[in-house]
Structure 1
Amino acid sequence: MAEKSQRDLEGAELLEQVFRDVTPLPGRVIKRNLQTPPPPKISIASGTGATNAHSIPKEADAHLPEINHENAPGLDKRSARKLKRGLREIEARLDLHGLRQEEANRVLASFIARSYKAGKRCVLVITGKGQVSEGGGVLRKNVPRWLNQAPNRMRILSFTHATPADGGTGALYVLLKRQRP
């Protein structure tokens, strides 16, 4: 038993481990009908940033309502106001300027996963305002959509535009959920 200790094994597994290297006496046959059940399958949402079952909150299977700048389901008014006014401490920043959409999506998912795993609560994602003549930046439009997609949405409580001092409509405050053991 190289990897598992005897305390980790239970009942049939322990018996199977004990009898695995036993040879029967001459003229006797060992009947082995002990089968250990297959390990439980853990389904992790596909996407970047999800490396193990602990990196996604337990409510990952539940349908979560979409978040937008005006709507923060599951967040009380006081906390929403505090986030919108930029009164929460920014614990990490991500600047997506100059990145292509695919790369920005991958970097964003990785950043959200790392920040969540590190126990950070409020992060700033800078998208830039984009070209005004073209109706705004591509990242500025897509980042809110990406934040609502798995696995990001399962880690996020709310997001809103930043205050002008932190980038205004070209940046987002993202409030992450607390990591539960």
Structure 2
Amino acid sequence: MNTDEDPNDVGHFLRAIGEVRRLEHDQADVRAPAPIARAQKRREDDVAVLRDLLSDPVNATDLQPGDELRFVRPGVSRRVFRNLKRGHYRVQEELDLHGLFSGEARRAVATFLTEARCEGHLCVRVVHGKGLRSRQQGPVLKGLLDHWLRQRDDVLAFCSARPADGGTGAVYVLLRRAAARS
């Protein structure tokens, strides 16, 4: 600023504020901002996908209480499966299905596996029970869990746990790594 200029000079003021444009009206725009775009049915779609992924088999009661569960997706090495079966991988999270009806158990398993994978867990345990109180039906949740786990692409392998971890009443589940986030 030039010290010779009068601060009350209009020319000084106009130079200080720079270029201006005339307003078309003197009313403020008070409309609410547009809402953030979101998929309206996303939650319902996610639930429907989980329900479809974990559909119940026609006959899931062919298993007996002492039968072992085992499944290995193609591409998983025998060494990895052997280590899983021996309990060499640290179980990072556990879900107990005791006392749940099949529909509740299906939702619990779907939610548990999705959250475990999102948290970066690779090995989890699901306790399904041995089905000793299921009378003639056999171990209902055990058969259903076997079916549900086979349907999920994020399950690489599963097998009955060691006796100290629940034996044929629980399974170790090996999960696929979650995709890296950018």
- TM-score, length-scaled by structure 2: 0.60
Cα distance change, pair 179–96 in 1 and its aligned pair in 2 (3 A): same
**Partner SS for 2:49:** coil
* Rg (Cα) greater in structure: 2
Which segments of 5 or more consecutive residues in structure 1 lack a partner in the other structure? 1-41, 51-67
In structure 2, give the amino acid aligned to 1:46: V
Paired with 2:50 and 2:160, the residues of 1 have a C-alpha distance of 25
1:72·1:159 contact (CA, 8 Å) conserved in 2? no
Partner of 2:130: 129
Specify the alignment match of 1:16 in structure 2: none
The CA distance in 2 between the partners of 1:135 and 1:83, in whole Å, is: 29
Once residues 70 and 94 of structure 1 are traced to their aligned partners in structure 2, the CA distance between those partners, rounded to angstroms, is 19
The number of residue pairs the alignment matches comes to: 120
Residue identity in the other structure for 1:109: A
Task: Look up the equivalent residue of 1:145 and give its one-letter code.
Answer: H
* Separation in 2, partners of 1:88, 1:135: 33
Mapped to 1, the partners of 2:138 and 2:167 lie a distance apart of 13
- SS of residue in 2 equivalent to 1:87: coil
Q: 4+ residue runs of structure 1 moved beyond 6 angstroms?
A: 42-45
Q: Paired residue for 2:157?
A: 158
Contact (CA 8 Å) 1:158, 1:174: kept in 2 or not?
yes
Q: Are 2:49 and 1:46 aligned?
A: yes
Q: Distance in 1 between matches of 2:112 and 2:149?
A: 11
For 1:9-158, list aligned pairs within 5 A: 46-47=49-50, 69=70, 71-131=72-132, 133-134=135-136, 136-149=138-151, 153-158=152-157
Mind listing any 5+ residue stretches in structure 2 that lack a counterpart?
1-41, 54-68
CA contact (8 A) 2:125 2:173 kept: yes
C-alpha RMSD of matched pairs (Å): 2.5
- What is the CA-CA distance between 1:72 and the residue it aligns to? 3.8
Q: TM-score, normalised by structure 1?
A: 0.60
Other structure's SS at 2:70 match: coil
Give the match's secondary structure for 1:46: helix
